[in-house]
Structure 1
Amino acid sequence: MIENNTPTIETKRCILRKFTLDDVDDFYELMSNERVNKYIPLLPFKSKDEAKEFLIKSHIEKYNNVSSYRYAVCVKDINKVIGYVGLSQSECNDFGYAIHEDYWHQGYASEVCEAVLKQLKQDGIEYITATHDVNNPNSGKVMKKLGMQYKYSYHEIWQPKNFMVTFRMYQLNFIDNDFTYMGYWNKYDHLIEDVE
């Protein structure tokens, strides 16, 4: 894997860069939004202090690692953080993203995710996974548009929200097309759905 230390990426409408403490206000606006938060594994932030603490621990401190893919999604014209996209540093290589609701249905998620996937492939990442709640089919549409393939579904009591969710797991392999990450399958009750 190439040492990249989160290289800045530019797309047609966005700059993808490291988060800084200057982003706390925009990050709080994103992560306290209940519609945005509905399908991400965090409770809505209640204060800017909470947003700052999370931003430091879950993003800024991670930039000390050799390869950390945790991007602030900034709209070029207004230099505003409208979302995030990133890759977990765990065996599942979970790829995640969120965009502020004011920018939904305008192609931002696909645009920025495609750019990060290109970087991941270039840096030698072998595969990524991504999951979405069955009640959030729009996220699944983004995954399909990115070329990800549905592999299986599983039931998990989602923490910290503490309710049962059925997740669909998608995967994109950059090297071995026959490989399927089975971590969720082995850990949770699972099924194969007829997903179009």
Structure 2
Amino acid sequence: MHTIPLETDRLILRKFEDKDMQPLHLLLMDETVNTFLPWFPVKSLEDTRTFYETHFAGKAYHFAICLQSDNIPIGYVKADTDDSHDFGYALRREFWHRGIATEAGKTLVAYLRKDGVPYITATHDKNNPRSGKVMRQIGMRYCYSYEEQWQPKNIRVVFRMYQLNFDGQDDRVYRKYWNLYDAHYVEKHL
């Protein structure tokens, strides 16, 4: 393992701590921020703590994104350790469109590469193309699209699946979603 926290000139990526529940709550309660995330906005600090314990506590590659100026979380960036190695992130709205998600993503990618993770995948709703832009900016490439009845929100969504291989197997494509959903295809214009 490598040194944590991970730092750039502007950001600190570190593990969430107990003192971070209020800043995390600000992120998780925002309906706009959570529109394209696979959960509903939280309603209380207790819900935030439960979310933290379920989704972040003890996870190897789940980090708070903090500014160097105050070390208070403004978002998160993560990669799962299951076979998808799913990459994801979220930022409070007032920090959107500043390149922070891309900077945090590139920092995490470098860490994962050094740690021997073979690849990452990520998906985004086709109605959220800015997320796809972040994925491309950190080096991911579009592989395919698929349609599913997305839970827990129970809405029909077309997802675009991206991947970045670290281990030299450049042609490898994670096919789980392709195989799982009958409605799958490659979009030519991407």
TM-score tier after normalising by the smaller chain length = over 0.9
Once residues 64 and 55 of structure 2 are traced to their aligned partners in structure 1, the CA distance between those partners, rounded to angstroms, is 12
Q: Deviations over 1:4-46 (max 9, x none)?
A: 5x83100121110001111100001001111100011010001
Q: 1:13 aligns with which of 4, 10, 15?
A: 10
How far 1:130 sits from its partner (Å)?
A: 0.6
Find the counterpart in structure 2 of residue 46 from structure 1: 43
Q: Does 1:77 align with 2:69?
A: yes
Q: 2:178 aligns with which of 185, 193, 196?
A: 185
Find the counterpart in structure 1 of residue 157 from structure 2: 165
Q: 2:106 aligns with which of 114, 119, 132?
A: 114
Q: 2:79 aligns with which of 87, 108, 126?
A: 87
Matches for 1:15-30 after TM superposition, within 5 Å: 15-30=12-27
How far 1:154 sits from its partner (Å)?
A: 0.5
For structure 1, the 5+ residue unaligned runs are none
Q: Does 1:131 align with 2:123?
A: yes
For 2:148, give the aligned amino acid: E
Once residues 111 and 188 of structure 2 are traced to their aligned partners in structure 1, the CA distance between those partners, rounded to angstroms, is 31
Once residues 89 and 126 of structure 1 are traced to their aligned partners in structure 2, the CA distance between those partners, rounded to angstroms, is 11
Find the counterpart in structure 2 of residue 55 from structure 1: 52
Find the counterpart in structure 2 of residue 146 from structure 1: 138
For 1:149, give the aligned amino acid: R
Once residues 18 and 53 of structure 2 are traced to their aligned partners in structure 1, the CA distance between those partners, rounded to angstroms, is 8
Q: Deviations over 1:109-128 (max 9, x none)?
A: 01110000000000111111
Q: Deviations over 1:102-158 (max 9, x none)?
A: 000000001110000000000111111010000000000111111111000001111
CA contact 1:152–1:193 (8 Å) conserved in 2: yes
Sequence identity, in percent? 45
Once residues 33 and 188 of structure 2 are traced to their aligned partners in structure 1, the CA distance between those partners, rounded to angstroms, is 27
Once residues 189 and 134 of structure 2 are traced to their aligned partners in structure 1, the CA distance between those partners, rounded to angstroms, is 14
Once residues 22 and 84 of structure 2 are traced to their aligned partners in structure 1, the CA distance between those partners, rounded to angstroms, is 31
CA contact 1:150–1:195 (8 Å) conserved in 2: no
Q: Deviations over 1:86-109 (max 9, x none)?
A: 011211111001111100000000
Length, aligned pairs only = 188
Q: 2:94 aligns with which of 91, 94, 102?
A: 102
SS at match of 1:125: coil
Find the counterpart in structure 2 of residue 36 from structure 1: 33
Once residues 57 and 143 of structure 1 are traced to their aligned partners in structure 2, the CA distance between those partners, rounded to angstroms, is 25
Q: Could you tell which deviates more after superposition, 146-155 or 74-83?
A: 74-83
For 1:44, give the aligned amino acid: P
How far 1:78 sits from its partner (Å)?
A: 2.5
For structure 2, the 5+ residue unaligned runs are none
Once residues 93 and 185 of structure 2 are traced to their aligned partners in structure 1, the CA distance between those partners, rounded to angstroms, is 31
